[in-house]
Amino acid sequence: MTKTGGCLCGAVRYEVSGDPAMQLVCHCSHCQKQAGSAFSTIAGVPERAVTVTLGAPVTFIDHGESGQPVERQFCGTCGSPLFSKVMAAPGMVFIKTGTLDDSSWFKPSAHIWTKSKQSWVDLGDVPAFKTNPG
């Protein structure tokens, strides 16, 4: 199944082929800052499954709570966060699900980096990991 998405202003558009390998909620402090929220909802897909069809995201090299590099890609015009590439999962791209045209299929299978979660966030019955699972 092909999924489409893009940034708020429409300068960057993308397509994703296939189904995600993982659907997560990340509570790390860096995702909180990037999202401007308590967490980031992400779908992990193989890098080859993502095609940018319009524009080009800008990349900021961050170092996550793990200390490993994280490529955070966003629209250079409106600032919408689009993708993350983390060294802990080589060959994967994590799509910020809020940028998908239809994210109704998203159902998180796990919460990660819960050691940094906001105290008021209820994790429900979804499995949770203090850092990366593994």
Tens digit of pLDDT for each residue in 9-45? 999 999 999 899 999 999 989 999 988 999 999 999 9
- How is the chain split into domains, by residue range? 2-116
The pLDDT value given to residue 132: 83
Write out the two tokens for 40.
Answer: 């980031």
Q: Contact 90/1 with Cβ under 8 angstroms?
A: no
56-96 confidence digits (pLDDT tens):
999 999 887 777 889 999 999 999 999 999 988 889 999 99
CATH topology of domain 2-116: glutathione-dependent formaldehyde- activating enzyme (gfa) (3.90.1590)
The pLDDT value given to residue 10: 97
Provide Rg for the chain, Cα atoms.
14
The pLDDT value given to residue 120: 96
pTM of the predicted model, to two decimals? 0.90
- The pLDDT of residue 1 is above 70: no
The pLDDT value given to residue 12: 98
- CA dist 84 to 62, 81, 122, 125, Å? 10, 8, 24, 26
DSSP-based three-state secondary structure for 35: helix
